[in-house]
Amino acid sequence: MKSYTFTTPLSEADMRKLETGDVVYLSGHIFTARDMAHLRMKRLLKENKPLPKPFEGAALFHAGPVVLKNKDGTWKLNVIGPTTSIRMEPYAEMVGSIGVRAVIGKGGMGEDTLEACRKYGYVYLQAAPGCAAKLAQGIERINDVTWFELGMPEAMWDLQASRFGPLVVGMDTKGNSIYKDLRTSALNRIDVLYPA
């Protein structure tokens, strides 16, 4: 297990050297995106319309932050924690095709994401669930928000990060997944405990 600190935009070469279990800290822009933001991005791409942010080398966080609006119109982040990522599995190919290099969330993703990680050179990073206040300490400020009409958790937030993490590589570009390994190990254990 190694530890790395990267600043966005992330490079494909850096992501391809990561292995499951490595620890990553991120600085720079991190964009949040949940179900509705992914759906809207898919629609924009289908209509050949521009996306609202530059996603080449981006880190995309499956999260819905809790924020407050200041009197001057800026935003203050209270807490931010990962949401369950498997819901975004249908967008694995799209995420890779727009140049995203790191997806952050919890619980892992499926085979489509594993294949897209290998094909496009992006990784899945596990954020610690239940640590929303701690994770918020790695965010210096909110740069802006897009699609606020979708609601606070579903909007796309542009976060300015400073050593955000620790994040653990849960899926790498080589076809490895700690979630797949855990499932295989658990199923093998069941066969030992409860033979047919």
Overall pTM > 0.95: no
Q: Please name each of the domains of the chain with its CATH number.
A: 3-193 (3.20.130.10)
Task: List the chain pLDDT tens, one digit each, 196 residues.
Answer: 899 999 999 999 999 999 999 999 999 999 999 999 999 999 999 999 999 999 999 999 999 999 999 999 899 999 998 999 999 999 999 999 999 999 999 999 999 999 999 999 999 999 987 777 888 899 999 999 999 999 999 999 999 999 999 999 999 999 999 987 555 554 455 555 666 6
At residue 189, the pLDDT reads 56
pLDDT at position 129:
74
What is the predicted pLDDT for the residue at 13? 98
Q: What is the pLDDT of residue 180?
A: 76
E-assigned strand segments in the chain: 3-7, 23-32, 59-61, 66-69, 75-79, 102-105, 123-127, 139-146, 156-171
Which one of 29, 34, 38, 40 is the catalytic residue?
38
Known catalytic residue: 38?
yes
